[in-house]
Amino acid sequence: MAKNNRIPKIRGAKRSSREVIKNQKEFDKSCNYKVEWRYGTKWNQQKTAKYRYMACRECGSMTVASPAATAITCSSCVQKMVDPPVFKSSIAKTGRPAGWHFMKEYVDKDGNVFHKGVEKPELKGTLKPTVIEKKKRLTKREKAKIKQEANSKIYDLKKQLKKAKFKKDQRVINRQIKYYQRISAGRIPKNYLENNSE
């Protein structure tokens, strides 16, 4: 059986009330503002096609307009008319550090005590405010230096691995190689700096 591909008519659909322009030249002459037809020059216009330009009602600069437009306001004039948008942050700052509601116990500067984000009013003012120590973040140079050291240690360990005869020695060296390969890939463990600073 053949498939029917006809688009069904929608009952009650109205025809557009916009009048069709039969003579574009006469319509352009009837407009109160200057109208020109120019070839496309912008990146999103075809160079072979002509586009309708109309004078802005405020400043008079020629702007691209639709064939049915009778008056137009350019984008720069619209910007002058309208105030710039005001951006407000949706999140209100509490003055507490990031992750305070995950801490077992956190005391803010007013003396409010929180246990895992839940306030305990009966303990208010009994404890000292929590002091948050800032973690030392590595700079790009420091990270690059650590990676370079790890690569040099991998090189030395691979030399040792060739000389190692027993499996127990090879296992230890392979474990160290894996550890330093992780560091050279950029996954530096937290305790690495503490262990190497001594």
Domain total of the chain: 3
Same domain, 54 and 103: no
pLDDT digits (tens, 9 = 90+) for 66-111: 998 999 999 999 999 998 888 887 777 777 888 888 989 999 888 8
Same domain, 62 and 110: no
Q: What is the pLDDT of residue 125?
A: 85
Residue 88 lies in a domain: no
Residue 9 lies in a domain: no
Confidence of residue 160 (pLDDT cuts 50, 70, 90): very high
Residue 91 lies in a domain: no
For the entire predicted model, the pTM comes to 0.41
Residue 158 lies in a domain: yes
Residue 151 lies in a domain: yes
Residue 121 lies in a domain: yes
Domain that holds residue 37: 24-81
Mind giving me the DSSP string for 132-191?
Answer: PPPPPPPPHHHHHHHHHHHHHHHHHHHHHHHH--SHHHHHHHHHHHHHHHHHHTT---TT
Q: Per-residue pLDDT for 197 more than 60?
A: no
Residue 19 lies in a domain: no
Q: Per-residue pLDDT for 192 more than 90?
A: no
Residue 38 lies in a domain: yes
Average pLDDT, the chain: 86
